[in-house]
A and B are shown apart, each in its own frame.
Chain A
Amino acid sequence: MKNISIWLLVLFLFVDVGCTDATLAKVSQALNDTQLAVGGLQSIVIVANKQGTMNDADTQKILSICAKVNSAGIQAVAITRGVSKLAPADRSNISNILTPVVTAVGDSLTSLGITDPKISNDVRAALLAIQTGLTTAQLVLSGGK
């Protein structure tokens, strides 16, 4: 009987912790993908600015979006790091941080005023990658355990 109780305990812990780790891993990976995409976008616009193919105003406009994503990402990482289990309140907090940033990225996609077609395409692709990372994190938080 003692063995059964131990196995029940192990099963309980496995189920509880296993699912939690999967969600944490997905959110963590989505956040990491997002920071990589943001870094890529920043490099694109800063290099274009240095080369004179993108003016300061357009560069700053894109970088301000990046700054919002970076700030939200740091906050989301801090919340994710501090929990061994993503409780509903934790998910809600992270989602509340990410939602306005997803909106801002989406808005920027529809209002790009970059004249250079190559840079415009590169920026658009990077913004889509950022949006994908953020949306993935949100979907996991809303649907995963």
Chain B
Amino acid sequence: MDIAAILALISAGESILGPVIVAIRNKTGGTSITVILDSADAGFAANQKQINDWLVSKGKPAIQP
């Protein structure tokens, strides 16, 4: 197998394996990133709700997302 064939294999592998890599990441190392992002997302949303609850309690309009 020559270099061109190897490069072709690598290139094909990148496109074919891309979704596989994402799936593996979601099952393994990526889980931690997903979990952290979920936590960040939920935290920001909860913070925003807390602000809106306070605003409403003061008779002020809530902030629209």
Q: Chain B interface secondary structure, helix, strand, loop or mixed?
A: helix
Assuming the contacts A38-B44, A73-B40, asked whether A63 and B54 have C-beta atoms less than 8 A apart, the reply is yes
**How far, in Å, is A62 (CB) from chain B's closest CB?**
10
Contact between B1 and A1 (Cβ–Cβ < 8 Å)?
yes
Main secondary structure of the interface of A (DSSP, over half): helix
Please give the number of chain B residues whose Cβ is less than 8 angstroms from any Cβ of chain A in the complex: 36
- The number of A-B residue pairs with CB atoms under 8 Å apart is 106
B2 to chain A, nearest CB (A): 9
Does A5 have its Cβ within 8 Å of any Cβ on chain B? yes
Interface, chain B (partner A; CB < 8 A) = 1, 5-6, 9-10, 13-14, 17-18, 21-22, 25, 29-30, 32-34, 36-37, 39-41, 43-48, 50-51, 54-55, 58, 60, 63, 65
